[in-house]
Amino acid sequence: MNPLLRTSLAAAVALAATSPLAAQSPTPPAPATPPAGAPNILGDWTWTALVDDQQVSQGTMRLVRNGTALQGTVVFPEGEAPLETVSFDGRVLQFIVPGPNGAIRAEGRFGADGTMSGTWSDAAGGQGTWTARRP
């Protein structure tokens, strides 16, 4: 694997965005309360990031609500990073993870089985998929 991609991913990936997010303005803040029937995204998650169906990083993520804002942190073997611009519309979770080689944008959806899965892309042109489940 490209060392720059691995460094960027390991230094900031969590879950783990699709490439259209890179050109959009920042995601609006999450609503004060999730829509009725929306899954509970708050709490701890265990995630795995993939490139070409091969695992490149794994760790944990914690999502919390601070007033009306969603916030979180991602922990991976090399360290910890805050999540930025976290939003959840009842179906889709989006967030940005700052990193030494630029931001990683992630987007994911919730499955009927309670897991999350989605895509990520970074400023260096790397991209892949991610999955997360409750520990």
What CATH code would you report for 3-22+37-133? 2.40.128.120
The CA distance from 123 to 101, in Å, is 7
Report the predicted TM-score, pTM, of the whole model to 2 decimal places: 0.72
CA distances to 57, 95, 102, 104, 113 from 8, rounded to whole Å, are 11, 16, 7, 8, 30
Q: Tell me the average pLDDT across 12-23.
A: 34
Domain borders along the chain are 3-22+37-133
Strand partners, 50: 55, 129
- pLDDT tens readout for residues 53-90: 787 888 999 999 998 899 999 998 888 999 999 999 88
pLDDT of residue 112: 87
pLDDT, greater one: 103 or 77: 103
Per-residue pLDDT at 34 exceeds 70: no
